[in-house]
Amino acid sequence: MILDIVKLAASLIIILVGAEAFTNSVEWLGRKLKLGDGAVGSVFAAVGTAMPETLVPLIAIFSDGHGSAGHDVGIGAILGAPFMLATLAMFVTGLTALIKRKNNAPMNIITDVMKRDMKFFMGVYVVAILATFLPAWPLKVVVAGFLVFAYACYVYKTIKSSMGKCDENGAPAPLLLMRKRAEPLFAIVLVQLACALGIIMVGAIIFVGEVQIVAAAFGVPVLVMSLIITPIATELPEKFNSIIWVSHGKDTLALGNITGAMVFQSSLIPALGILLTEWKLEPIALLSAVLAMSAVVFQFIGLTGKRGLKPAHLIAGVLFYMIFIAVLLN
């Protein structure tokens, strides 16, 4: 049992190391392509830091064939990611801004970028969740196709609006494989991307196996554990990067890193879940989705209000997370 816990912790470290390297190279990729904060934060950094959450459910589903345990881990990870992003990730980011600036002044963000991200999330996530109530699998396939198409439209609009705006970002941290060069080679950026992805896959394979063993040992339902443990572990890169960006006054990158990942995790990944599983969501899974949506609606109201989105709006995300925990404990 102790060895399994050690393996679980080691797999999390492997995932985080790989995600950090992936994010670092993704930022440089965005700079090489001359894209602004909107695309770098909401598409490249978001997808980069979403790699662990993406690979964990896929590996869980494929490794267990048609077994229920693997599918529960997969569905839990799929739904847990947007839930953690909308609640805990926003909470940590808002708290950092409040402490760093010592006031509740509005976040310094590109409002149009945040509005686009949140609108896309609310739209596609509702569709993904409602797919569980469809009676026939062919109808679910249609929904999956719609989710993929919607994300493609989102990426196109985001990149198009950010082209030629790389100067607003500032230089990323030195590329890990070329620390001594101010401007790394494009080929080395791609090499680091590939290596980081490989590291994340190794960590995810170990994690999926160990989380099921530990869950069984403690008598915790696999779905519940994967809804809580998996997203907390795999969302750490977003939180860490967002904290750094907020500290440096790059609020659009910080929040775009989270909201962009939310769009990704509520469209492409549920589409895969719909295609690869029966996509029958249990009440506790549906509750996490409702709370995630409620948190984003609250934040969107603040974003569109006259006073703008403030750290307090983001900090309030933890309340929705606490409601979820309270229900679990009861």
Distance of CA 126 to the CA centre of its chain: 17
- Establish how many alpha carbons lie within 13 A of residue 224's alpha carbon, considering only the half-sphere containing its beta carbon: 14
Please calculate the CA angle 69-54-326 and round it to the nearest 5 degrees: 60
| Per-residue model confidence (pLDDT) at position 218 | 74
pTM confidence score: 0.77
pLDDT at 325: 86
Tell me how far apart the alpha carbons of residues 311 and 115 are, in angstroms, rounded to a whole number: 16
pLDDT digits (tens, 9 = 90+) for 26-65: 778 878 887 766 677 677 777 766 666 677 677 766 665 5
For position 320, what pLDDT does the model report?
95
| Counted domains in the chain | 1
> Taking the mean position of all CA atoms in its chain, how far away is CA 136?
29
Provide the residue type at 32 as one letter. K
Tokens standing for 224? 């519940």
In percent, how much of the chain has pLDDT > 90?
31
Q: Which two tokens stand for residue 238?
A: 């977003």
b/e for 244-270, b at 16 or more Cβ within 10 A?
ebbeeebbbbbbbbbbbbbbbbbbbbb
Average pLDDT, the chain: 82
Tell me the residue range of the domain where 251 lies. 2-329
Q: What is the CATH number of the domain that holds 276?
A: 1.20.1420.30
272, 58 contact by CB (below 8 A): yes
Name, of 6-20, 278-292, 293-307, the range with top average pLDDT. 293-307
H or E element in which residue 304 lies = helix 283-304
d(CA 97, CA 38): 19
> What pLDDT, on a 0 to 100 scale, did the predictor assign at position 204?
74
8 Å CB contact between 315 and 106 = no
Contact criterion met (CB below 8 Å) for 253 and 40: yes
Amino acid, single-letter form, for residue 43: V
Number of CB atoms found within 10 A of residue 187's CB: 8
DSSP code of 183? S
Q: Do the Cβ atoms of 50 and 204 come closer than 8 Å?
A: no
The model's confidence at residue 203, banded by pLDDT at 50, 70 and 90, is confident
pLDDT at residue number 165: 58
Supply 17's token pair.
């190391």
Helices (H), 169-221: 186-218
Q: What is the pLDDT of residue 51?
A: 66
Contact 106, 310 (CB under 8 A): yes
Distance between CA 242 and CA 257 in Å, rounded?
7
What is the rounded CA–CA span in Å between residue 254 and residue 41? 7
Distance (Å, whole) CA 128 – CA 293: 12
- Give the span between the Cα atoms of 130 and 97, in whole angstroms: 35
